[in-house]
């Protein structure tokens, strides 16, 4: 492996052969060839590598991977990260290569797995003997009474519910009766006030009738008749 270029090195090579899945490039100074996969030929999608390169053509490539299997060295090359006119590295920090490597990684789906806390729920405190917590988390004082988990709310029996419902009805009826009594008392007080207020008005009207000039004329006429 020391005879080959270093990883991520850029060099110019000659196309040895073209296949359906890519092109093999000759490594200069060695009899070895490296593969440029069709996904590494261009930023655009390539269906036919033969439309991109021809046999004997020289291209700029970047060594992006070295893999040894069964005593055979496989070299992976890339054309799309190198300017084919000048040979300049377009991805000097290998950001694009890292992103592509992450996309190829397979992630396991853990959404269907349930999270269980059996190790915590099945523990028993050595200090107080109660389940559900560790001895270091126990708040019981030495010599004190044991404390247990808070029980769930017990369901209310039907008889108690009926009694509560009946008492609510009684309260509502009593409130209605009190309102009716208040209304009747208010009406009675209004009627008495109205009668008391009309009495002085009647007296004033009678006084006006006595002092009216027509009443005085009638009295004079009655006196003259009586003299005659």
Q: Is the pLDDT score of 14 beyond 50?
A: yes
Average pLDDT over residues 78-87: 92
pTM: 0.45
Mean pLDDT value across residues 143-166: 60
More confident: 172 or 12: 12
Strand, helix or coil for residue 52: coil
Superfamily of domain 9-104: Nucleic acid-binding proteins (2.40.50.140)
pLDDT of 55 reads 93
> pLDDT confidence of 12, banded at 50, 70, 90?
very high
Tokens of 43: 């930023």
Q: Does residue 189 have a pLDDT over 60?
A: yes
Q: What is the DSSP letter of 131?
A: B
Check residue 67 and give its pLDDT. Answer: 86
Q: Which is more confidently placed, 222 or 27?
A: 27
Cα(159)–Cα(156) distance, integer angstroms: 9
94 φ/ψ sector (left φ>0, alpha ψ -120 to 50, else beta): left
pLDDT higher than 50, residue 91: yes
The DSSP symbol for 120 reads: H
Q: Compare 98 and 202 and report the one with higher pLDDT.
A: 98
| C-alpha–C-alpha distance, residues 8 and 142, integer Å | 68
DSSP assignments along 137-164, one per residue = G--PPTT-----PPPPPPPPPHHHHHHH
Q: What is the pLDDT of residue 217?
A: 59
Distance of alpha carbon 118 from alpha carbon 121, whole angstroms? 5
């Amino acid at each position: 492996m020391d005879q080959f270029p270093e990883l991520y090195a850029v060099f110019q090579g000659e196309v040895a052969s073209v296949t359906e899945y890519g092109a093999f490039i000759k490594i200069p100074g060695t009899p070895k060839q490296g593969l440029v996969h069709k996904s590494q030929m261009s930023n655009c999608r390539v269906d036919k590598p033969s439309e991109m390169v021809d046999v004997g053509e020289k291209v700029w490539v970047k060594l992006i991977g070295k893999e040894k299997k069964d005593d055979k060295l496989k070299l992976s090359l890339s054309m799309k990260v190198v300017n084919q006119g000048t040979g300049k590295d377009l991805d000097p920090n290998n950001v694009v290569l890292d992103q592509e490597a992450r996309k190829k990684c397979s992630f396991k789906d853990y959404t269907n797995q349930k999270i269980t806390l059996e190790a915590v729920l099945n523990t028993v405190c050595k200090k107080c003997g109660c389940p559900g917590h560790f001895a270091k988390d126990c708040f019981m004082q030495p010599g004190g009474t044991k404390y247990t988990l808070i029980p769930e709310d017990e369901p209310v029996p039907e008889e108690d519910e009926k009694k509560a419902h009946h008492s609510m009805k009684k309260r509502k009826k009593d409130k209605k009766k009190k309102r009716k009594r208040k209304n009747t008392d208010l009406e009675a007080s209004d009627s008495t006030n109205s009668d008391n207020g009309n009495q002085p008005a009647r007296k004033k009207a009678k006084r006006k009738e006595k002092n009216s000039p027509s009443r005085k004329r009638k009295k004079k006429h009655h006196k003259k008749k009586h003299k005659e």
